Amino acid sequence: MDLQRVLEKCGNFGPYQILLLGLYGYTNIVSSLHYFSQTLISFTPSHSCSPPKDYIPGNKTSLLACSIIQYDEDLSSFRDSKCSSWDFERESNYESVTTELEWVCHDAYKLAVGQSFFFIGSALGSIFFGYLADRIGRLPACVLSTLTGAAGDFFTSFVGSLPWFSFTRFISGLSMDTQYVLMYILVFEYLSPQHRTFGLNIILGVFYSFGLMISPWMAIWLGNWRSYLWAASLPALGMLLFPVFLHESVEWLLTKGKFDKAVNNLKSVAKFNGRQVDDSVFDEFIKHYREKLNSATKKSSDTFMGMLRTPRLRKFTIILLIKSMIITIAFDILSRNVEGVGISPFHLFSYSGFVVLPGGLTIILFQNKIGRKGMACASLFVGAIITAATGYLVGTLDPANYSVLLGVMVCLARFGAVVAYDAEAQYAAEIIPTSVRGRGVANIHVVGNAFAFFSSYIIYLGTFYKPLPSLLISFLLIIGGCLCLALPETLHKQLPQTLEEGEMFAKGERWYFFPCFSRKLQFKKSEAQLEAAS
């Protein structure tokens, strides 16, 4: 008797699963406060040079953002000198990293460098905590990952130099994804298959969106970036209570041969759900998995590197890697780039955070209708058009007069990024053969996170030409959409189990094949055949 059948008897959508989903929602709030802390601590308001000591209002001196221009009447010439201090137009008197440490103009690169270490940490953290999860279990690794990220945020609040800022952001980045992914796995395993897609996406959309929407108001209320980081790291302490209420992954316990512990967890779930399960069920369950573990001595020889040895799988793997880089960079930039459109960046960040919920609902409503490839291509191409249009409008329109239009465009661009990010995760998992799926998805995810290192530098390009980050991202999204056309459709197909099956998967399928169009074409053919027969 396998795990799914035993879970049905113990309850796979009862009070325990409701509790699990509630704690998963709490994890999403903690995760959103953590991930986007890097955005809220680094807003750069409008600024100009502070007047020099010999400055006399009305004389021929201009105070610009990064320099002071003085007209010398004796020499009939202009002198251009750099600022030594600045006056900032602080939003709601909020003190950010850039305003306190004056990381603007010739020092603006410091913020980009420091924040980029967050993504270096995320790549290494995915590897480290993924390994730790296999060694000590999903639940303790999830708790340790969350506390590590919170510690990074907390220690960042005490630094005042680039080296220490970079180091603490690196520590903070170690848990960027693992705190969410490991909790996702725990919920996934204890939840009934028919409730997984809807339950997980709704919880993610509601609670992650809630975290995004409240975080800017927290920052404004607290007044400075150091206090905000303290507040953002504090909820992570709640994770210390998770082992009191939750059970370790049964599947992980089974792979480690800890059958008694797995049975105790299932009995506890059954008791919590008010179910009575005979001991014979658990005896049969242990027998099934003991035999399965003994027969697993002949391990599969498939490896992730094996996906690069054959032509079609190599093409799929390279495309998935490039796609992950593009989508991760685009998601981060479009989520963070909310300045310079005539609306308070705090307000716009909060409003645009709402799009996470409709983004998840869009996946639920359309992905099974237009197909995985159709969803991936549409989100990338439409996102590219919206992002390019946003960049063009930001460069040509006066934000003071068109703030609402620009704000709506920013929200739409963020919505496209959310849909593309969610669609990419499931699509990649279905293309990669089962024998290497865990390693494959993890490696692709790690590469994407590693290349998000460049997102801070792309945002930095906006200091030279404001629409440049949007235009560059739209170009990358178009490349990603074109690459998607070379991938196979996975909807309603038997997914590949081995590398050999992966090489032959969807062989002969045309690049323009989409299930939604194929069904219409098939329907028309059937109608024509019926008319001919009559």
| pLDDT higher than 60, residue 178 | yes
Total residue length of the chain = 534
**How far is the C-alpha of 9 from the C-alpha of 270, rounded, in Å?**
8
Q: Give the whole-number percent of the chain exceeding pLDDT 70.
A: 92
Give Cα 152 distance to the centre of its chain.
Answer: 19
Q: CA-CA distances (angstroms) from residue 431 to 162, 361, 434, 445, 498? A: 42, 23, 9, 14, 11
| pLDDT higher than 90, residue 482 | yes
| 141-151: average pLDDT | 94
**How far is the C-alpha of 308 from the C-alpha of 247, rounded, in Å?**
38
pLDDT of residue 518: 64
Cβ(429)–Cβ(437) under 8 Å? Answer: yes
| 1-27+105-294 and 302-534 share one fold | yes
Of the given ranges (75-79, 255-259, 514-518, 525-529), which has the lowest mean pLDDT?
A: 525-529
| pLDDT higher than 80, residue 506 | yes
Of the given ranges (34-38, 55-59, 253-257, 334-338), which has the lowest mean pLDDT?
A: 55-59
Pairing outcome for strands 47-49 and 77-82:
unpaired
Half-sphere exposure of 496 (CA within 13 A, CB side): 26
Q: Estimate the crossing angle of helix 15-35 against helix 193-203, to 10 degrees.
A: 40
pLDDT of residue 453: 83
pLDDT single digits (tens) 350-373: 888 888 888 888 888 888 788 889
| pLDDT higher than 90, residue 20 | yes
Cβ(202)–Cβ(362) under 8 Å? Answer: no
CB under 8 Å to 23, separation ≥6 — which residues? 183, 242, 245, 246
Domain positions in the chain are 1-27+105-294, 47-88, 302-534
Cβ(117)–Cβ(193) under 8 Å? Answer: no
DSSP three-state, residue 309: coil
When pLDDT is cut at 50, 70 and 90, the band that residue 51 belongs to is confident
Mean per-residue pLDDT of the chain = 85
In this structure, what token pair is assigned to residue 68? 């002071």
| pLDDT higher than 60, residue 519 | no
Half-sphere exposure of 99 (CA within 13 A, CB side): 22
Most confident range (mean pLDDT) of 1-5, 87-91, 133-137 is 87-91
Q: Which of the four CATH numbers 3.40.50.720, 3.90.850.10, 1.20.1250.20, 3.90.1170.50 does domain 302-534 have? A: 1.20.1250.20
Pairing outcome for strands 47-49 and 61-63:
unpaired
- Which CATH fold would you assign to the domain 1-27+105-294? Growth Hormone; Chain: A; (1.20.1250)
Which of 147, 179, 172, 204 has the alpha carbon at shortest distance from 37? Answer: 172
| pLDDT higher than 80, residue 380 | yes
Cβ(293)–Cβ(254) under 8 Å? Answer: yes
pLDDT single digits (tens) 291-314: 877 765 445 567 778 888 899 999
Comparing 216 with 177, the larger pLDDT belongs to 216
What is the C-alpha end-to-end distance of the chain, expressed in Å?
53
| pLDDT higher than 50, residue 526 | no
Comparing 467 with 225, the larger pLDDT belongs to 225
In this structure, what token pair is assigned to residue 82? 């750099």
Q: Which amino acid is at 127?
A: I
CB under 8 Å to 487, separation ≥6 — which residues? 316, 319, 320, 373, 376, 427, 431
Which pTM was predicted?
A: 0.81
**How far is the C-alpha of 244 from the C-alpha of 91, rounded, in Å?**
42
DSSP three-state, residue 81: strand
